[in-house]
Amino acid sequence: MTAPSPHGLIGLLIALLWLTPALAIAGIALTRRPRWAEWLNLIAAGLVFAETLALLICSSTLTTPAILLGHALILSPLGAWVLLCVGTVYLLASIYATGYMRMLPEEAPRLPLFYALLAAFALSMLVAPLLNSPGLYWIAIDLTTIISAFLVGFERAPEPIEAAWKYIVIVSAGLSLALLGIVLFYWGGSFAAGMVYDLTWRKLAELAPGMAPPLAALAFLLVLAGFGTKVGLVPMHTWLPDAHSEGPAPVSAMLSGALLNTALLGIVRFMTAMDDSPVAPLAHTALILIGLLSLLVAALFIVRQTGIKRLMAYSSVEHMGVLAIGFGIGGPIGFAAAMYHMLNHSLTKSLMFFGAGNLMRAYETKDMAQMQGFLRHFPMMGLLFLAGAVAITGAPPFGLFRSEFEVVRAGLASGYVWEILFMALLLILIFAAFLNHIRRMAFGATGQIAPQPINRHLSCWQTLPMWLALIPTLLFGLWWPDAFTRFFHLARTMLP
């Protein structure tokens, strides 16, 4: 009996990866019972994580990206890495949702709908990185918007519904620009490939050097603005603070830790497709500049923030800026640092949104001033939240410190001295402002009576995923595995 070919095994894993959440959705629709919905979604999330990990291992054995179903699907190391980030956050958010959503008794009859939407949201993000056509990738990203908008407005209060509509309007406008950019890329390639051809990521890279530079530059800037809206890069970020702060905490974690990486993948693929064209310097410089602008705006809003989940949202803007700078710098160090940052951000931001959700439900408010002294009432969860706050600001000994340090090193080695100094200054400002907010929340302001939590009960479902997120990012801060270095090198040389 012969062993299955690598491509055959990859095809089987992709089929299982998509079938798992689809079956969970079908099972939830058939049973319509909250407890069944919880467990079906949770089992699906565990299987999805295992399947993304298996695909990651398979991608590390490839010499060229795996092309399946003709030219419809593609598995590359970079795409597999994004899938792992999605699978990780989906599992953590599903564990947390089991405890968090039970604290919303008024939503109990609608919990099957919530879990079906959560699984569908995960499925849409598991499809996008595997699509070999920029046009189909755009459709998948647009689908994530439609599904996640229902999750943002799930609680049906005026603020969540307003945030959901704002999210739809702004992101849809941005994605319209991205679609126009894709059309221009197709048109630019038609002069060499003919009026009708299959535009794949590899085909785009082959045709880009022959495109008219002004046309290619305009197309890339439109794509950057369009998908940058979905990523939350400034100035297209205005939907993000509202959507992240008004959606349920598990949804916020999925939006920040999984969706933003999935959308950023498209920008990176378009940018690297330009690497052999005259537009390459413009593409890299534009990504670096928009990353710096995102850091600047995030720093200014973090300093004066009062809402806990909006604080986390602007932290997401900050970290997407760091990722844009890392990928924009490129090279072996910059690319590896950005990929490392992706996973550590997914883990740490999930931890922080889980802690924020716990505190919001305990104090029944989003105002950080009403949560002062929480460490007294929730010592274990409070310590996890404090550790996550140190980690998310890029302080040692956590993984984000390692990745940000490597971005700085890559920038200096590539001659981006002033850009890196500006980035470092903004990161220091964010570090001080963010931790000052958390310090006041944890220990309380001097001379003030700390508010008492209304709900003191936290289940293990609400603290377990915080541990599961903290331990890896601490480990990755202390130890950068050699296997990661080899994998990041492979991902850079085997684009898209």
pLDDT band of residue 299 (cuts 50, 70, 90) is: very high
Tokens of 285: 């410089």
pLDDT of residue 3 exceeding 60: no
pLDDT digits (tens, 9 = 90+) for 80-90: 999 999 999 99
pLDDT digits (tens, 9 = 90+) for 327-384: 999 999 999 999 999 999 999 999 999 999 999 988 888 889 888 888 888 899 999 9
Is pLDDT larger for residue 104 or for residue 248? 248
With vertex at residue 355, the alpha carbon angle to CA 352 and CA 356, rounded to the nearest 5 degrees, is 85
Question: In the prediction, which pLDDT does 1 show?
Answer: 45
pLDDT of residue 466 exceeding 50: yes
- Looking up tokens 């007294």 gives 376
Measured between alpha carbons, how far is 57 from 61 in angstroms, rounded to an integer?
Answer: 7
Measured between alpha carbons, how far is 345 from 86 in angstroms, rounded to an integer?
Answer: 12
Question: In the prediction, which pLDDT does 449 show?
Answer: 62
Measured between alpha carbons, how far is 158 from 246 in angstroms, rounded to an integer?
Answer: 10
- Altogether, the residues listed in the chain come to a count of 496
Question: In the prediction, which pLDDT does 103 show?
Answer: 81
Q: Domain coordinates of the chain in residue numbers?
A: 6-493
Measured between alpha carbons, how far is 133 from 145 in angstroms, rounded to an integer?
Answer: 19
pLDDT digits (tens, 9 = 90+) for 162-189: 999 999 999 999 999 999 999 999 999 9
Measured between alpha carbons, how far is 55 from 77 in angstroms, rounded to an integer?
Answer: 9
pLDDT digits (tens, 9 = 90+) for 229-277: 999 999 999 999 999 889 899 999 999 999 999 999 999 999 999 999 9
Tokens of 395: 């302080």
pLDDT digits (tens, 9 = 90+) for 387-404: 999 999 999 999 999 999
